[in-house]
């Protein structure tokens, strides 16, 4: 989640789903996982939150798998992927100072040099005016689910073929999928 922290926040109002794509800060507070982010106040999705549960989808690496990599010719194309689904309720921040604090936390995570330089020179009044244009919030995760499809339904030889092809690839996604697949097949070898 920390490595692939640009996620999709999904909520629903009257059976109509809404989604916003946002960067998240992921922290642990007293054994609880907390996701923090903000959106433009003009994005009315925040008005739906209330006491309802929301879903944050962290889409991690994914890659097309050609059936040419399998030993049996009777196969079809597929897609390998890793994702995390985090469910929880939103707590909206109420003041400009809380919003500024979240902005500073996010800037520290994504652009620390800017936080140490230009940000320090911006007058508080300007920061406060910008902070009023956003809705900052946090989500305490109540349920966390990992999702993965990494050729678990294939034999070791087919998996090794996919891993070898993906490791040689120029695609970062394919290289990361190979890494995840190696973890699964290594643990399968150790348990068997």
At 51 the pLDDT is 85
Average pLDDT over residues 112-116: 96
Of the candidates 149, 185, 126, the residue with the CA atom closest to the CA atom of residue 77? 149
Has residue 191 got a pLDDT over 80?
A: no
Average pLDDT over residues 14-25: 94
At 148 the pLDDT is 93
- CA 34 – CA 135 distance, rounded (Å): 17
At 83 the pLDDT is 96
CA 182 from centroid of its chain's CA atoms = 22
Q: Give the pTM.
A: 0.87
pLDDT classification of 132: cutoffs 50, 70, 90: very high
């Amino acid at each position: 989640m920390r490595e692939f922290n640009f996620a999709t926040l999904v909520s629903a109002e009257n059976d109509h789903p809404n989604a916003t794509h946002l960067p998240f800060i992921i922290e642990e507070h007293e054994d609880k996982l907390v996701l923090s982010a903000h959106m433009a106040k003009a994005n009315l999705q925040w008005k739906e939150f209330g006491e309802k549960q929301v879903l944050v989808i962290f889409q991690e690496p994914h890659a097309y798998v050609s059936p040419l990599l399998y030993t049996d010719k009777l196969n079809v194309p597929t897609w390998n992927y890793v994702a995390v689904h985090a469910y929880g309720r939103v707590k909206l921040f109420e003041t400009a100072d809380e919003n500024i604090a979240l902005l500073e936390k996010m800037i520290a995570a994504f652009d620390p040099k800017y936080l140490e330089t230009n940000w320090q020179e911006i007058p508080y009044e300007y920061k406060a005016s910008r902070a009023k244009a956003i809705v900052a919030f946090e989500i305490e995760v109540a349920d966390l689910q990992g999702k993965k499809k990494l050729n678990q339904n294939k034999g070791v030889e087919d998996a090794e073929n996919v891993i070898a092809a993906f490791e040689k690839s120029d695609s970062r996604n394919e290289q990361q999928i190979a890494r995840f697949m190696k973890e699964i097949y290594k643990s399968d070898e150790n348990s068997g």
